[in-house]
């Protein structure tokens, strides 16, 4: 079922401790059980499994429960041992896990959606379960009565969710690339704002209630930090992945962001440093350096008897430039560009060698990562994905060791 890999060598990279195998289909979510050597997984194979580490060092299922529909997501509350499972048929199922993690009893089934549940959060404070689904909606239901309290529809699939328990604000990412901030109430809601910045569908969100920062990962391979608490519209773009970003976690104590992508890439971003916002791209009918016309500028092309050029943009200043005036490539980590990007020749000359110092480290998970969970108090991370394998990592060498209070659990 599971193999112990090896002990922990002193290297500055995630160390693979264990691999858990046994699922017959994609594992959509895996969470580490706090204060236990255990993992909970849910899968397309319709199973919910609780894996406990045995004396042999291997993980074996102490609970193996099959439900009627593929499991798409989960929300686990450790103090109450309540677990909520989202399913492909739109239902959310609540179970109560026994203290010894050997038994799981059904509590309620909530008719939350008409299609696949994409994400959910359980709030003990309000006794609500908030969920998003492929029926283009977010719903919130009372866990005491089992009744629907409210629902809001979007124009695209609702793909991911974060929830502020104190203020009852919900952040919902969707397939159009937008993030909607809602204020949820009993029987009603209000739309606060819509955040736009990604060029692809939103795959994952993470909310830090302490610094009031929202992080989003998307299919455009980028991560954006939204400074909600600053109320000035400040955003930071982070580009270092080469595939869809599908999982993110912010470690508040060490000011680090961990992100994982579909190709197995893992990134650890230093957020405890001075960063600059990437500029908005400017519009122009001609190159803002040499003034040559772009190919749609028919009038200037005719007047000057020249061929139109293709438009590009400098990532540092945002100017619209032609290829000849932006022939250079460079990293510029202070703006979030950890791999070489196009800059105009003038900006290239202003970038010093120390400006290219990386502000993130990159590692290889060697499997598709659809979901990730962390227990910073123990320096552990678990990843899972479509290859049906669950991997447990020691990440103390890449995110620091004193992390006991640096994580806000979902």
Predicted pLDDT at 123: 95
For residues 105-132, give the mean pLDDT: 96
Same domain, 379 and 271: yes
Residue 6's pLDDT band (boundaries 50, 70, 90)? very low
Q: Among 10-14, 120-124, 289-293, 365-369, which is the least confidently predicted range?
A: 10-14
Same domain, 109 and 171: yes
198 part of a folded domain: yes
The answer to whether 121 touches 130, Cβ cutoff 8 Å, is: yes
Residue 343's domain comprises 298-356
Same domain, 85 and 196: yes
314 part of a folded domain: yes
For residues 363-390, give the mean pLDDT: 95
Same domain, 193 and 332: no
Task: Inform me whether the pLDDT recorded for 402 exceeds 60.
Answer: no
Measured distance CA(42)–CA(394) in Å, rounded: 22
Predicted pLDDT at 9: 40
| Alpha-carbon torsion (209, 212, 217, 223), positive or negative | negative
Same domain, 215 and 237: yes
Strands lying side by side in the sheet with 104-110:
71-77, 82-87, 92-97, 104-110
284 part of a folded domain: no
Task: Inform me whether the pLDDT recorded for 401 exceeds 60.
Answer: no
Same domain, 82 and 183: yes
Per residue in 227-268, pLDDT (tens digit) is 998 777 789 999 999 999 999 999 998 999 999 999 999 999
Task: Inform me whether the pLDDT recorded for 404 exceeds 60.
Answer: no
Same domain, 260 and 320: no
Predicted pLDDT at 89: 97
Could you give the count of Cα atoms lying within 13 Å of 400 in the half-sphere of its Cβ? 17
Same domain, 364 and 232: yes
410 part of a folded domain: no
Percent of the chain with pLDDT over 90: 82
Predicted pLDDT at 119: 98
Measured distance CA(49)–CA(371) in Å, rounded: 16
Q: Where are the alpha helices (DSSP H) in 170-266?
A: none
For residues 105-129, give the mean pLDDT: 96
For residues 160-173, give the mean pLDDT: 96
316 part of a folded domain: yes
For residues 98-113, give the mean pLDDT: 96
* pTM of the entire predicted model: 0.89
191 part of a folded domain: yes
Which residues on neighbouring strands pair with residue 364, listed in sequence order?
265
Q: Among 76-85, 299-308, 315-324, 352-361, which is the least confidently predicted range?
A: 299-308
Task: Inform me whether the pLDDT recorded for 3 exceeds 70.
Answer: no
10 part of a folded domain: no
Same domain, 367 and 340: no
Same domain, 100 and 206: yes
Measured distance CA(192)–CA(204) in Å, rounded: 20
Residue 410's pLDDT band (boundaries 50, 70, 90)? very low
Predicted pLDDT at 310: 85
Predicted pLDDT at 351: 93
247 part of a folded domain: yes
In the chain, the number of structural domains is 2
Predicted pLDDT at 283: 87
CATH number for the domain that contains residue 327:
3.30.40.10
For residues 16-45, give the mean pLDDT: 96
Per residue in 314-343, pLDDT (tens digit) is 999 999 999 999 999 999 999 999 999 999
Predicted pLDDT at 11: 47
CATH number for the domain that contains residue 99:
2.130.10.10
For residues 33-53, give the mean pLDDT: 97
Same domain, 244 and 343: no
For residues 35-42, give the mean pLDDT: 96
Q: Closest Cα partner for 71 from 52, 51, 91?
A: 91
Measured distance CA(295)–CA(301) in Å, rounded: 8
Same domain, 107 and 202: yes
Token pair recorded at residue 196: 């736009």
Question: Average pLDDT over the chain, rounded to whole?
Answer: 91
């Amino acid at each position: 079922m599971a193999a112990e890999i090896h002990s922990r060598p002193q290297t500055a990279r995630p160390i693979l401790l264990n691999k858990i195998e046994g699922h017959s289909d994609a594992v959509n979510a895996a969470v580490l059980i706090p204060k236990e050597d255990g993992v909970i997984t849910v899968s397309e194979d319709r199973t919910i499994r609780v894996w406990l580490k045995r004396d042999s060092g291997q993980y074996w299922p102490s609970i193996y429960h099959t439900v009627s529909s593929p499991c798409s997501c989960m929300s686990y509350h450790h103090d109450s041992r309540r677990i909520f499972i989202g399913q492909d048929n739109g239902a959310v199922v609540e179970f109560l896990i026994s203290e010894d993690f050997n038994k799981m009893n059904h509590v309620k089934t909530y008719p939350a959606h008409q299609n696949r549940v994409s994400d959910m959060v359980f709030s003990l404070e309000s006794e609500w379960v908030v969920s998003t689904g492929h029926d283009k909606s977010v719903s919130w239901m009372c866990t005491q009565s089992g009744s629907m309290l409210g629902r809001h529809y979007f124009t695209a699939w609702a793909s991911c969710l974060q929830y502020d328990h104190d203020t009852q604000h919900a952040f919902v990412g969707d397939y159009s690339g937008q993030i909607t901030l809602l204020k949820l109430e009993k029987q009603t809601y209000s739309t606060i704002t819509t955040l736009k910045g990604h060029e692809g569908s939103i795959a994952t969100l993470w909310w830090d209630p302490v610094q009031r920062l929202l992080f989003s990962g998307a299919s455009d391979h980028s991560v954006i930090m939204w400074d909600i608490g600053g109320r000035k519209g400040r955003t930071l773009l982070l580009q270092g992945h080469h595939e869809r970003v599908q999982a993110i976690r912010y470690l508040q104590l060490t000011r680090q962001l961990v992100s994982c992508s579909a190709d197995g890439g893992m990134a650890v971003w230093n957020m405890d440093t001075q960063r600059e916002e990437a500029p908005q791209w400017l519009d122009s009918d001609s190159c803002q350096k040499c003034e040559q016309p772009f190919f749609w500028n028919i009038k200037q092309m005719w007047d000057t008897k020249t061929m139109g050029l293709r438009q590009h943009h400098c990532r540092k200043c945002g100017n619209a430039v032609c290829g000849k005036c932006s022939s250079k490539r460079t990293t510029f980590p202070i703006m979030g560009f950890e791999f070489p990007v196009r800059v105009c020749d003038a900006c290239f000359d202003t970038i010093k060698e120390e400006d290219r110092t990386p502000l993130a480290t990159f590692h290889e998970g060697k499997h598709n990562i659809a979901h990730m969970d962390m227990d910073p108090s123990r320096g552990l991370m678990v990843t899972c994905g479509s290859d049906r394998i669950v991997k447990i990592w020691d990440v103390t060498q890449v995110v620091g060791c004193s992390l006991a209070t640096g994580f806000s659990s979902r």
